[in-house]
Chain A
């Protein structure tokens, strides 16, 4: 029998009662800042109200970071000393903070405030904000961001997403924003309490293609009116700032939408993995934003905007793949069956060899695409190929990781089942992040 109106109401009430979101926000904040409505699609909450972003008026024209000064002619896989220093600190953060917190963060579907505060200490946001706006960025650095993503995901992909999403918005504004957008929104990212922020590209329908958006933006006077639904938006409940992709009369565009804008709501629909990233649906119901909130600088390239997100996900998958490899090696050496370590059997050992081979394949294609992006060379083909390969291999590594641990791998006692769930994200994610 189909569900009727009463059924829907009961379902919605049930969800509300069991919702971690409501508990976490607390009743007071709920009264003050949230409203909910009972609808067919369950209960929705208004997004977190944004602080007052005020233009610093600092910029006469948009900042654009240049490609790194030392352009090398020779093929070279070495990274710079500075990149190595950043990697060292990100790696120890990932190992000491993210990895131990990965299980509870997954269970709570949230990256804790303490973890996010600790991540701020790494100063990653500074690399996304130009010097003139209070940050430390002097040149374009997708390669560094890629390495950071890889290393964070080695600790935990979910928490990595929560940490990277705001930085991604800053990266995107630095790369694509006009002078006014940059001076209004970017300085906050270099402050002590930077806003949570996120990108919304994916949509909840099968065979989603980021070039064929169903969320629409239409012009009404000097406002853009956005309608539609986004899926898997990181930090959707807490973000103060969103970059939302929507179809305009002249093709796909991206709009700056502040949290708390009327008609902008989120709901609960917990994903299979990457849960600590706080990814939720984002509904846009006649959301109005000023004309000036569209990323429309002359050099805006929607394809590159999407590609830089895809490459961030590839980097995460590489990091998690490395985590699987590093985990299974000691495990298969220590675990014994039939009187010897299981690693003495070829079907076990070769699975490990294949993980290493395909992980290297994933990494080298990702590095290639990102290094081209950093140089200002075309990188769409390279991104397409990287995604095509990475999504398949990442999932193979995820599933082999569980297989190598047998029944133990299937339980929450071990991290491989989480990596299995996380790796599936690579095949469905568009947007959310930006190198």
Chain B
């Protein structure tokens, strides 16, 4: 048993931390105010990061790096691989700014889906592209099996019809991984994902949302109207397979949920550290007094730090399980649910503890408390994670425990 981060990952963590402090933080407020403006500083950054990733493919910091160690032989030894490094790198970047992290070219959630299920030919074609992910529709979000966007089989291509909303980086990405059903009557097993490239006829940007937080990240509504997509752009098995259709597409989440947990952890750590700095003169914070003997504000800080620390190690654990090819659906949901609610609580409480200083735009505390809210919503809300955890624990189907 060893619960320490290995030294070999530390340089990557440090690099990401430097990016957070030197690239993200200085422009954090600027793009929070200038919603929908593209943070052009990210282009330079992403080529720098590409350089780093090429040097050591195991230690990238983007969503595209997750997965179950594809193609590598399993020699039975313990691994601290791509899932862990990606998580820890993302945490540091989120410590800088979650919204800017979400806006990083070629690190979209669509890239994670492609990394997880694309075949070699598709990897070749889409590997270098920036891919967003479009599941949510006006009529359904949590209940992703109820999507209404259709894909009609027309021989050498599919024709997509429907409306997708809340697509993160939807307008900025090169292509969108779209969930659509081959046959609405066939239920969840008929749902497939399709890579649709911008420029495809029939695909249109409807609008960009104005939001509570993560304003630097754009959130697009996209319509598909008789949109023709090549056959080869379907990811995974084209057959409607009752055995493992839907479960297959859902598996991506086991890899991306720990990432979202890391976003929450980074954002919350930023808030907590800043609040401790602001409170420095007013507290005695040396882990000496039992929490009930500490002042109210010290006790609250101890509790926040303890919750943050627990969430952090639960997240590292679920990434470690993925690296070691252990099934981790439950753990991925646990770390996502825990980190997101703890993160939201911490960021909001920090604004409160900092008083009027925390509530205005001189400090980033108020921004972090707005940013953190989305992390308990997308990639499965708190309640959806609890459903997943509860069903697994209780051995219940989605029909029994709705």
The one of A329, A350, A388 that contacts B306, using a Cβ cutoff of 8 Å = A388
Q: Is the CB of A350 within 8 A of B390?
A: yes
Inter-chain contacts of A72 with B (CB < 8 A) = 2, 78
Q: Is the CB of B394 within 8 A of A349?
A: yes
Pick from B288, B291, B302, B310 the residue with the most CB of A within 10 Å: B310
- What separation, in Å, do the CA atoms of A427 and B71 have in the docked complex? 49
B376-399 interface code vs A (CB 8 A; 1 in, 0 out): 000000010011011101111000
The one of A73, A207, A375, A386 that contacts B292, using a Cβ cutoff of 8 Å = A207
Q: Is the CB of B80 within 8 A of A75?
A: yes
A325 to chain B, nearest CB (A): 8
Which residues of B (297-321) have their CB < 8 Å from a CB of A? Answer: 302-303, 305-307, 309-311, 313-314, 316-317, 320
B39-78 interface code vs A (CB 8 A; 1 in, 0 out): 0000000000000000000000000000000000000001
**Cβ of A78 under 8 Å from chain B:** yes
Inter-chain contacts of B396 with A (CB < 8 A) = 343-344, 349
**Cβ of B355 under 8 Å from chain A:** no
Q: Contact size class for B? A: 35 or more
Inter-chain contacts of A356 with B (CB < 8 A) = 334, 389, 393
Inter-chain contacts of A354 with B (CB < 8 A) = 386
Q: Is the CB of B314 within 8 A of A360?
A: yes
**Known: A367-B3, A392-B303. Is A333-B395 also a contact (CB below 8 A)?**
yes
- What separation, in Å, do the CA atoms of A281 and B291 have in the docked complex? 24
B68 to chain A, nearest CB (A): 17
Which of A46-54, A129-137, A377-385 interfaces with chain B? A377-385
Q: Is the CB of A353 within 8 A of B389?
A: yes
Q: Is the CB of A209 within 8 A of B293?
A: yes
Name which residue of chain B comes closest to A207, CB basis.
Answer: B293
**Cβ of A371 under 8 Å from chain B:** yes
**Known: A333-B394, A349-B401, A357-B389. Is A76-B306 also a contact (CB below 8 A)?**
no
- What separation, in Å, do the CA atoms of A392 and B383 have in the docked complex? 22
Q: Is the CB of B1 within 8 A of A143?
A: yes
Which residues of B (262-293) have their CB < 8 Å from a CB of A? Answer: 287-293
**Known: A344-B396, A349-B390. Is A389-B306 also a contact (CB below 8 A)?**
yes
**Cβ of B171 under 8 Å from chain A:** no
B1-31 interface code vs A (CB 8 A; 1 in, 0 out): 1111111100000000000000000000000
**Cβ of A346 under 8 Å from chain B:** yes
Q: Is the CB of B6 within 8 A of A368?
A: no
B328-368 interface code vs A (CB 8 A; 1 in, 0 out): 00010010011000000000000000000000000000000
The one of B317, B386, B394 that contacts A343, using a Cβ cutoff of 8 Å = B394
Q: Is the CB of A77 within 8 A of B310?
A: no
Which residues of A (323-337) have their CB < 8 Å from a CB of B? Answer: 325, 329, 332-333
**Cβ of B84 under 8 Å from chain A:** yes
**Cβ of B400 under 8 Å from chain A:** yes
**Cβ of A294 under 8 Å from chain B:** no
Q: Is the CB of B309 within 8 A of A385?
A: yes
Inter-chain contacts of B291 with A (CB < 8 A) = 384, 387-388
**Known: A207-B292, A333-B395, A357-B334. Is A385-B306 also a contact (CB below 8 A)?**
yes
Pick from A208, A332, A357 the residue with the most CB of B within 10 Å: A357
**Cβ of A2 under 8 Å from chain B:** no
**Known: A368-B3, A384-B287. Is A329-B393 also a contact (CB below 8 A)?**
yes
B152 to chain A, nearest CB (A): 37
Inter-chain contacts of A71 with B (CB < 8 A) = 2
- What separation, in Å, do the CA atoms of A71 and B396 have in the docked complex? 41
Inter-chain contacts of B391 with A (CB < 8 A) = 349
The one of B287, B303, B307 that contacts A381, using a Cβ cutoff of 8 Å = B287
The one of B287, B292, B305, B393 that contacts A352, using a Cβ cutoff of 8 Å = B393
Inter-chain contacts of B289 with A (CB < 8 A) = 209, 211
Pick 15 A–B contacts, CB within 8 A, sort by A: A71-B2, A74-B2, A76-B2, A76-B78, A77-B1, A207-B293, A210-B290, A211-B288, A329-B393, A341-B400, A344-B400, A368-B3, A371-B2, A372-B4, A385-B287
Q: Which residues of B contact A (CB under 8 A)?
A: 1-8, 78-80, 84, 287-293, 302-303, 305-307, 309-311, 313-314, 316-317, 320, 331, 334, 337-338, 383, 386-387, 389-391, 393-396, 400-402
